[in-house]
Structure 1
Amino acid sequence: MAWRCSGGSNADLIHNMERNGLINSQRVKEAMLGVDRAHYAPSSPYEDSPQPIGHRATISAPHMHASACEALLPYLQPGSRVLDIGSGSGYLTHVFANLVGPTGTVIGVDHIQPLVSLAEENMAKSKEGRELLESGRVKFIKADGRKGWKEGAPYDAVHVGAAAAEHHKELAEQLKAPGRMFVPVESGWMQHIYYVDKKEDGTVVKERKFGVQYVPLTDAPEE
């Protein structure tokens, strides 16, 4: 259904995803309506397809952002702490911030400094985005996402926006108990989304969900 979700405006795009069953929660719908994708996608912002943002990176298709929000929603409560690895354009970081509210915190991590700067610039295009940055509710950091960001741990939710070559132990360790990670992982020539849940007793359970195609979670490209 994703191919039928593109629209002429941000509202059209979100409503089309809801109509096609890709958004099922009113909270997710409102959070995505509150972020104009045109501030983050340099071209065709309301098409339901990934868009290049430079540095061999992309902003994922809107339906993948909706899927991540729906999957993590039980852990995106007011006051939650969220780690967004491979934050890229900063779009989903902003949506997460809407979901966790004024007492929550979202940390966006990218390994390419120009993308960290781009996310900050994109978020500053709106009054709401500027307030998120100025209040410290959203922070963008340059770091190796494969190692997470221990300084802000533990996290209620971790989102990984690039395909990992393996299940990185450090990321699961930085989850709260309970907590959930949404991560694409390579398996042979395929990639699959996994939900990685840390239970209250600290047990980690990995569940493979559906096939995807993401850019890889790798070292930063050479200058």
Structure 2
Amino acid sequence: MSAIDRKDYCPRYSYEDSPQSISYGATISAPHMHGYALEHLENYLRPNMTALDIGSGSGYLTACMAEMVGSGGKVVGVDHIPELVDLSIDNMKKQHSDWLESGRVKFIVGDGRLGCPEEGPYDCIHVGAAAGKKPTALIEQLKAPGRLFTPVGTYSQYIMVYDKKEDGTVEEKRVMGVMYVPLTDADKQLGRDY
């Protein structure tokens, strides 16, 4: 995290340890939550590995993950708000336009609930919004071994870690209670729920 300047991705209150609005009904998580995520994913963010960041928002955590996987790795950021994908690309260009040009980082507009199977499978997946239930579509996109770090729940939410073992079996572990925005569709996020 010290290698990626949060100010490039969060212009107001950049270093305050609290979530910050990045517009379009989205927030950038507090730095301590990014730290927890990277700590839990560290063994799956080694050089030359591939990762998926669902709800990539401003692109900050995607950039941190790309720093960890190195020049031989790849990180795909997915967000369903096109303006946030554009923002994350602009933010990445401030210090790391070469990562975009080389394919080390790729940002895609898409439904994060479905993941991005065409770019996978992934050594790890991070989700920055709470799924209502166990996200089986994302677990299917993990390599074996692989790890998914995601908040799950509606009224009561927990960070869940799903580990896909070499034999394809999945173990799950509840890590901590949290409160995240829901993993939803763009219309609901933007308040256009007709």
| TM-score of the pair, normalised by structure 2 | 0.95
State the shift of 1:131 in Å: 1.0
Identify the residue that residue 158 of structure 2 maps to in structure 1: 192
| Residue of structure 2 equivalent to 1:209 | 175
AA aligned to 2:120 is: A
Report which of the two structures shows the higher radius of gyration computed on alpha carbons. Answer: 1
How many correspondences in the alignment? 189
SS of the aligned residue for 2:150 comes to strand
Question: Is the counterpart of residue 94 in structure 1 residue 63 in structure 2?
Answer: yes
2:116 aligns to what?
A: 149
What is the DSSP-based 3-state SS (H/G/I as helix, E as strand, rest coil) of the residue aligned with 1:209? Answer: strand
Distance apart, 1:147 and its partner CA: 0.6
Determine helix, strand or coil for the equivalent of 2:126.
Answer: strand
Q: What does the per-residue CA deviation read over 1:160-183, in whole Å, with 9 as the maximum and x for residues that have no partner?
A: 000111112110000000000000
Query: How big is the shift at 1:46?
Result: 0.7
Which residue does the alignment assign to 1:118? Answer: 87
Q: What is residue 81 of structure 1 aligned with on the other side?
A: 50
Counterparts of 2:159 and 2:135, CA distance in 1 = 14
Counterpart-to-counterpart distance in 2, 1:169 and 1:163: 14
Instruction: Show structure 1 runs of 5+ residues with no match.
Output: 1-31
TM-score by length of structure 1 reads 0.83
**Larger RCO (CA under 8 A, 6+ residues apart):** 2
Shift in Å, 1:125:
1.1
Offset at 1:33? 1.1
Secondary structure in 2 aligned to 1:33? Answer: coil
Structure 1 stretches of at least 4 aligned residues deviating more than 6 Å after TM superposition: none
Structure 2: stretches of 5+ with no match in the other structure: none
Counterpart in 1 of 2:15? 46
**SS of the residue 1:206 aligns to:** strand
Matched, 1:174 2:119: no
Question: How many Å apart are 1:134 and its aligned residue?
Answer: 1.1
Matched, 1:131 2:111: no
Asked if 1:72 corresponds to 2:41, the answer is yes
Offset, 1:42: 2.5
Percent of aligned pairs sharing the same letter: 58
Code of the residue aligned with 1:173 in structure 2: it is E
- From 68, 75, 91, the counterpart of 1:106: 75
1:155 Cα offset (Å): 0.2
Amino acid at match of 1:220: A
Separation of aligned partners in 1, 2:148 and 2:68? 16
**Separation of aligned partners in 2, 1:168 and 1:193:** 12
Find the residue that maps to 1:77 and give its secondary structure: coil
Q: For 1:91, give the aligned amino acid.
A: Y
Q: Report the CA distance between 1:190 and its aligned residue.
A: 1.1
Tell me, yes or no, if structure 1 residue 62 matches structure 2 residue 31. yes
- Deviation readout 1:77-116 (Å, 9 max, x if unpaired): 1100000000000000000000000100000000010000
Rounded to whole Å, the distance in 1 between the matches of 2:86 and 2:134 is 28
* Helix, strand or coil at the partner of 2:86: helix
* Structure 2: distance between partners of 1:153 and 1:35: 25
Partner of 2:126: 159
